[in-house]
Amino acid sequence: MLDDFLIRAALAGLGVALAAAPLGCFVVWRRMAYFGDATAHAAILGVVLSLALSMSVFAGALAVALAMAVTVSSLSGRGYGMDTMLGVLAHSSLAFGLVAVTFLPGVRIDLSAYLFGDILAVSKGDLLVIWGGAAVVLGLLWARWQQLLLSTLSPDLAYSAGINPRREQLVLTLALAIVVAVAIKVVGALLIGAMLIIPAAAARALSTTPERMAVLAAVIGGLAALGGLQGAFLLDTPAGPSMVCVAAIFFAVTTLFRRPGRG
C-alpha cells in the first residue's frame, strides 16, 4: 500500500495536520503567529547545514528551528519589540540559508521543495519521521495540557498554582521546532505557519472549550490536507499551497457563520 505515492502523501499530510493544528491553538491563543513563521524560516538554514554536513535534513532543521525558538524566548524583554526581533531573526536566517546554498560544492538542491513543500516525494522513511514527530508533539500536549493552558490564560495564576510559565513556553517552543522539522518537506518553510494558524483559527469560531477547539483544529487540518491533495491531483496545482487554500476556505466559511461575540 505504501508503494503508492498518493497514499504516502495523504499519510504525510495527515501526520503534519495532527501535530500542527492542536499546537496552532496555543499559537493563536498566545498571539505567536509571527513566532511560528520565524521558526519555520530559520529551518531553511538548518536544511543547508544538514546538506553541508551530510546529515539528516530533519536533524538539521530541528536543531536550527529549536535554536531559533530558544533564542527568541531568551531575548524577549531585552528592549526590542517581539515583532521587531522576530522579523530580524526570521528574515536574516532565511537570507543566510539561501546564500549559504551557493557555497555547497557539488550539491544540487531544489529550494522550491523546501520553501513550498514537495509532499508527493515523501518516502517511507519520511513517513516514520513525520508520524514519530507528530506522536512526540501530541504526547507533549497531552502530558502538559493543563499546565500549558493555565500558563496561556494567566501567567500569574499559573505561578500561584506552582507552575512555571517560562518552562511551559519552552515546552511549546520544543513542540513548535519538531512540527517545523517534520513539516518542511510536506508544506515547506513558507507555508508551515499557515498550517499552524489557519485550522486553529477556523476551529475557534466553532468551539466553546479549548479542548473542543484543539480537536476541531486537527479535524479541519486533516480535511485540508486531504482536500488539498485531491484538488492538486484533479487541477494539477502545487500540493502544499493547495492544502493551505483548502484550510483558508474552511476559515472563510466558519468566519461567515460565526456567532457574534464568539472567538
Enumerate domains of the chain plus CATH numbers. Answer: 5-193 (1.10.3470.10)
Give residue-wise pLDDT tens across range 156-165: 888 888 888 8
Among 180-184, 222-226, 234-238, the range with the most confident prediction by mean pLDDT is 222-226
Residue 131 pLDDT exceeds 90: yes
Residue 106 pLDDT exceeds 70: no
Question: Within the chain, where are the H helices?
Answer: 5-29, 33-52, 57-75, 82-101, 111-116, 124-153, 155-160, 165-183, 192-204, 210-235, 239-256
Grid cell in block for residue 38? 520565524
Dist. CA 73–CA 166, nearest whole Å: 9
pTM attached to this predicted model: 0.85
